[in-house]
Amino acid sequence: MSPLIPAIVDADAPYDSTTFADTILRTSDNVHFYIVGNMLCYVSPFFRDLFDLNRGAAAEQNEKKDGFLVIHLLDDSATLRLLLDFIYPRIGDPLLDNVTLFWNASKAAKKYCMDIVEGKLKDRIVASELIKKEPLRIYAVATDLEWDDIANVAARNTLGTQLKHLTYVVELRSISGAGFYRFLEYRLRCNTSARSQEERLSMITDYKLNSSSASDPASELDGRGRFHPSSMADLILRSSDSIDFFVVAAVVRLVSPVFDAMFPLKDHESKDGLPVILVQESSRVLLPLLRIVYHDIDELDTTDCQLYREIVLAVRKYGMTSIERKLRKQIATSSLILTEPLRIYILATIIGLGGVQRGAALNTLSRPLEEMTYTSELKLITGADLYKLVRFRFRCGDEACAALVKDKNFSSYGLNNWSTYRRSLNPKSDRPSRPSRPSHPSHPSPPFQLLDWSGSLRACPRGSTMANIYTKRIEEVGRIDDDLDFRSTAFCGVVKCIRSAENVVEQAVSRVRFQCPFQSSTHIYSGPPFHRRHGLTLTDKTHLRFGSTVVVRVYQTCLIFILPYVRHIPF
């Protein structure tokens, strides 16, 4: 059954049929607005041109009602009413209490080139309560409208809320990841600025792009090799930009059931006696795809995310399941997932590889959010996709810290308890005192202080972070004249705690769901196979090597401090 079409009704005053109108605007929900055409012409060049062209014989073909010209619009009645309220003279300004309605009216004002109305909308939103109550939504709307001045005001209004506590807003789907990156970079800059209220959003052109070694397949067309005319070719695939690729039909049919179903070809174009199949893909996409099919190359260049996406879409379109499995495996095992996890996250997002997406997201946790560098591929994903990554980071940090606080070993022998083992706090200790180290006047010994391990772990919620913290703490103890009095039980507990801290963090992070409020899926990807070594559970091979090295350094440092007392420990 076709959807019911609402009956045509007249708008309420002052846009009803009793006005001194000469034109009717019919909205998408079939509401008639009776308006004065000259008022629209005054504020909108679009309608001015529309009325100018509506003369002579063309005017006779237009729809009319009661002698009035009827103009069909794609906007709904609520949007058009708010738009007209800013055009018509009235007492008081129109009320703005709905972000979606404000957004729709602003888009309509831009569409109809109503600069005067745009200016009024900007002034009203800045003075409204919406920008104070829902600043992130207004930021996303302003970014979508390319209103940088309003985006700056909205971003500044978010400073009262911690970045991790900003809730998801649906408008983030309508801006690019680059647009949300601007917001993140602004917020992080404000965190360290003495004058945060004076900071402004950076322009995308201000960011330094990561260097890319992506090759341009179009430049390789002159070297198509086996796809030039040859005695073996019996089929031509013609790209959307009219480049002919001479192929062996059996090879293409073998990997693609879609191409196979086309045979035998009927009513086809031919060239030099060979049948021609027109494809919608450009030569830039078709060349690397055919090279994969022909095994000329084993992998595609993953540095060009847009090209990779177009190739994957073509592979799915033609049902090349074996090729798609190969491309999936390439992304999952790519070294870029360790060195450039954000790029792989973007690539996995745009082609729909949830498992690889989560694996890449985990690897972004190894560096603080402040070190996330801009990449042009952020324009390929939505702000919601980048919000999902940032939210995942914050949740991993919270879960990692909570897991350590609950861990019995860490509660008893963690870093914050080491100060209780100072010799000055145990005057009855029978351990031999270590000879004091004279401090240089220009380098006085720092006091023994508690380490902010939770701040470091929230910034980089990975097990290797705890290894780094322990190493730094032990090295600090070695530099200062602070004679820690570890008894046998305490020493064993501390060593056990050092060994288990990484594992506790990694297990906590592995349990965090990688999804956002806008996702309804309950599927949880467990990540790539875990690598177990020295009792550690790490999903990052680089971290595995680094983490185990740190543990060895921790043991070595412990031995340096403990060996003088070994014979005094009552085992």
pLDDT(441) > 60 = no
pLDDT on residue 410: 86
- Min mean pLDDT across 138-142, 156-160, 482-486 is at 482-486
Question: Quick one: pLDDT band at residue 479, thresholds 50, 70, 90?
Answer: low
Those residues whose C-beta lies under 8 Å from the C-beta of residue 141, and which sit 6 or more positions away, are 99, 102, 103, 106, 171
pLDDT at 193 over 50: yes
Q: Which of 226 and 79 is assigned the larger pLDDT?
A: 79
3-state secondary structure of 68: strand
Of 327, 333, 335, 295, whose CA–CA distance to 311 is shortest?
A: 327
Mean pLDDT of 61-88: 91
pLDDT confidence of 552, banded at 50, 70, 90?
very low
* Vertex 264 angle, CA 260 and 267, to 5°: 120
CA distance 371 to 467: 20
R_g of the chain computed on alpha carbons: 33
Give the pLDDT confidence of 141-161 residue by residue, as tens digits: 999 999 999 999 999 999 999
The pLDDT, as a whole number, for residue 555 is: 46
Rounded to an integer, the average pLDDT of 177-181 is: 96
Phi, psi (deg, nearest 5) at residue 236? -120, 125
User: In a 3-state reduction of DSSP, which class is residue 397?
Assistant: helix
Q: Nearest-CA neighbor of 358 among 498, 204, 526?
A: 526
At residue 327, φ and ψ (nearest 5 deg) are: -70, -40
Average pLDDT of the chain is 81
pLDDT the model gives residue 30: 94
Q: Where are the alpha helices (DSSP H) in 7-162?
A: 37-43, 45-53, 57-60, 77-85, 99-111, 115-127, 130-133, 135-145, 148-157
Q: What is the pLDDT of residue 83?
A: 95
Percent of the chain with pLDDT over 90: 55
Length of the chain in terms of residues written = 571
3-state secondary structure of 70: strand
Statement: residue 454 has pLDDT above 80: yes
Which bin fits 530, alpha (ψ -120 to 50), beta or left (φ > 0)?
beta
Predicted TM-score (pTM) of the model is 0.80
Distance, in Å, from the CA atom of 411 to the CA atom of 81, rounded to the nearest integer, reads: 62
* Higher-confidence position of 196 and 521: 196
Domains and CATH numbers, the chain: 9-203 (3.30.710.10), 400-568 (no CATH)
**Rounded mean pLDDT of 71-97?**
92
